[in-house]
A = this chain, B = another copy of it.
């Protein structure tokens, strides 16, 4: 009997191997050779699934985005209270462990690509639309439960929070001052306080 190959699963495994390299060493470490070594598959197999390094990196971006989507879905199922949900959403985005560092690094790479190349731009704009939707729903729920100011403009607060998380995450991978700041206890709540219009006092 011919061996049954689960192609979708193999693509995922290879993207996971690439994502692990992004986490440990950065995007520049993702080469066909390194992914072959990491995944245990041959370079020939990798070239069969991805026609270029860019194609492999795009699969890595999509995998990171899918894993982040699963974080949101799990949160929905656990259904914590609205402020706890906001806290955990913000926390899931900041590059404070290997998974989130990989997410930030692969997104930073594709933000720069997206400024030059339409496929990457569309991918990023799509991710941003979904992420704003998640944040906006969480803010709306908190507002409906009377946990945040009823005068808060949800659209503005969403833009502001999503923008700040993007900027701070990218800055943190480049600047130890920012990395140290976002890692401080209380920083996640500070981000939320700022976005929802509470005075961000010193922590």
Prevailing SS type, chain A contact patch:
helix
Q: Which residues of B contact A162 (CB under 8 A)?
A: 167, 171
Q: Which residues of B contact A160 (CB under 8 A)?
A: 164, 168, 190-191, 194, 200
Tell me the complex Cα distance, A113–B108, Å: 9
Q: Which residues of B contact A27 (CB under 8 A)?
A: 115-116
Q: Map CB proximity to B onto A119-158 as digits: 1 under 8 Å, 0 otherwise.
A: 0010011001100100000000000000001011101110
Q: Residues of A within 8 Å of B, CB-based: how many? A: 57
Number of copies: 2
- Residues of A56-88 contacting chain B, CB below 8 A: none
A201 within 8 A of B: yes
- Residues of A161-203 contacting chain B, CB below 8 A: 162-168, 170-171, 173-178, 181, 190-191, 193-203
Residue of B nearest to A175 (CB): B125
B167-A168 in contact (CB<8A): yes
B199-A151 in contact (CB<8A): yes
A112 within 8 A of B: yes
Q: Which residues of B contact A203 (CB under 8 A)?
A: 153, 156
B178-A171 in contact (CB<8A): no
Q: 9 A-B pairs, CB-CB below 8 angstroms?
A: A28-B116, A128-B175, A128-B177, A151-B201, A156-B194, A162-B171, A166-B171, A167-B168, A197-B200
